[in-house]
Amino acid sequence: MEGQDILQIRDWLETQEDGKYSLTHKAALIRSCDPFGLMADYKDEDGNIYEYFNGELQYVTKNNTRIQVD
């Protein structure tokens, strides 16, 4: 059984999504961590996409160019 904190975070994360994108970097970062999932994306106002995997920013896509973050 999941703890109360995890359930509250899951409920909060449900309010932090718009389609396939998280509404903030914070929500994407948390969403990409166990036990909430492994991947999440955030799309900013300029259309840049930030791809998170396992709690870390992995790629940024700007102007249709995907850049790996070291």
Over residues 23-47, the pLDDT tens digits come to 999 999 999 999 999 999 999 999 9
Question: What's residue 1's pLDDT?
Answer: 58
Number of domains in the chain: 1
Alpha-carbon span 55 to 33, nearest angstrom = 5
Question: Does residue 2 surpass a pLDDT of 80?
Answer: no
Instruction: Report percent pLDDT > 70 for the chain.
Output: 99
**Residue for token digits 């449900």?**
14
Alpha-carbon span 50 to 29, nearest angstrom = 10
pTM: 0.89
> Following CA atoms 41, 50, 63, 16 in sequence, which dihedral angle do they give, to the nearest 10 degrees?
50
Alpha-carbon span 29 to 51, nearest angstrom = 9
Domain with 28, as residue range(s), is: 4-68
